[in-house]
Structure 1
Amino acid sequence: MDRNDFFTIPNTNIQILAPTAELDFFDRQSVQLAKSISPLEAWGLIMSRPMPVLNLAFRVRDAISSKFGVKKIGGFSTASRETIAPGQKLDFFLVEYVSQDVLTLSERDRHLDVLTCISRVGNELTITSSVKTHNTFGRAYMLPVAPAHKLIVRTFLRRLQRELA
């Protein structure tokens, strides 16, 4: 994907795959933090203590999805990064764009494309995910993933808010 292929939500710094009407999944959640941190710092803090159930979910996902020709992603590591550049990997995501206020990550496969944008404006941190599915497997995959994703992001943001209070 080329950053020029992304759509920026009007009056924000949030990047998504396409206008929301063209997406198969869209989730945008924000939290006010006690202090402003960069999106990369937020990623590092969130991933430093991954939820144990998430590792199990990724193992199950990889076991099932690989039978349909979908690549394994393995889940998240706890490795911290002080810097990152477009074209590098952050766990299974490709870094598409990075600045002090925006970190845009993608993952593409035969069943769907995902774009996750972590952005900040002042002390407000937002995690936005957009998905476009490519086939029946992608649509079926999103049935359990969509509600789980929303809960996971909400949990990550609340935990981050508590840690920085």
Structure 2
Amino acid sequence: MSLSNYPVIAVAPPPHSRVAGLYPKTHLYDAYSIELPPGASGDPETLARFVFAQSPAWMAALMAIRDALVAGFGLKTAGKLRSSGADGGERVGIFRIYEKRPSEIVLGEDDKHLDFRLSVLCQPSASNSGARRLIVSTAVHCHNRLGRTYIFIIAPFHRLIVRSSLRHAARIGWPPERSAGRE
């Protein structure tokens, strides 16, 4: 199917998102939006878990390369992040959950080179058609030169990965809205 069937658009980060204004200075701040079909879940945690569990294989290869490169600098690898959930902190994939709200979940991680937060926000479409949009926003604050260099290098990959992850999830089919009587 054509990518035009699943348009992911760059949007201004929503000012009401929990990541808006989070850091005194951001070194990367972007947002991407996709329309959810009727009947799709509107629960941000369900949607986040679905999007990050459905990543194409090429993304795993990119993460393996990233991990091999950053491990020498003492930065957290994907394997270390996944296993850090054992300390009692709840995670969605490699991301720590910082906050849950009815329409938004905030994920992220802090490391010695940078801190970042990722918002997965479900909101009504601006067209008032009853449609909903899923907006993924990322805010990154770098602590030092290593963080600024890292974000400069990975920013193009980040944009590609967010857009591709949303398209891939749409192609597979979003999880359905749960009915009130089901768990």
Q: Same fold (TM over 0.5)?
A: yes
| Alpha-carbon distance in 2 for matches of 1:46, 1:93 | 12
**Unpaired stretches in structure 1, ≥5 consecutive residues:** 1-7, 78-85
- Picking from 117, 128, 133, the partner of 1:124 is 133
Q: Report if the CA contact (8 A) 1:32-1:161 is conserved.
A: no
Distance 1:136-1:69 versus aligned 2 partners, 3 A rule: same
Partner residue, 1:48: 53
CA–CA distance in structure 2, aligned partners of residues 68 and 17 of structure 1? 29
Report the RMSD for the aligned CA atoms in angstroms. 2.6
Please, which moves more after superposition, 117-126 or 89-98? 89-98
Q: Secondary structure at the match of 1:15?
A: coil
Q: Which residue of 2 aligns with 1:148?
A: 157
Moved more, 99-108 or 35-44: 35-44
Q: Deviations over 1:114-156 (max 9, x none)?
A: 1000001131110000101111111111122111111111112
Structure whose CA Rg is larger: 2
Runs of 4+ in 1 over 3 A off after TM superposition: 17-21
Task: Report matched runs for 1:1-165 at 5 Å.
Answer: 10=15, 12=16, 14-16=17-19, 18=21, 22-35=25-38, 36-37=40-41, 38-74=43-79, 87-122=89-124, 123-162=132-171, 163-164=173-174
TM-score of the two chains, using structure 1 as the length reference: 0.77
C-alpha distance in structure 1 between counterparts of 2:70 and 2:89, whole Å:
25
Conservation of the 8 A alpha-carbon contact between 2:52 and 2:93: no
Q: Percent identity?
A: 25
Instruction: Give me the whole-angstrom Cα distance separating, in 2, the residues matched to 1:22 and 1:149.
Output: 19
Q: 5+ residue gaps in structure 2?
A: 1-12, 83-87, 125-131, 175-183
Which amino acid in the other structure matches residue 18 of structure 1? G
Contact 2:104 2:119 survives alignment (8 Å): yes
Query: What secondary structure, in the 3-state scheme, does the structure 2 residue paired with 1:141 have?
Result: helix
Equivalent-residue separation in structure 2 for 1:63 and 1:32 (angstroms) = 35
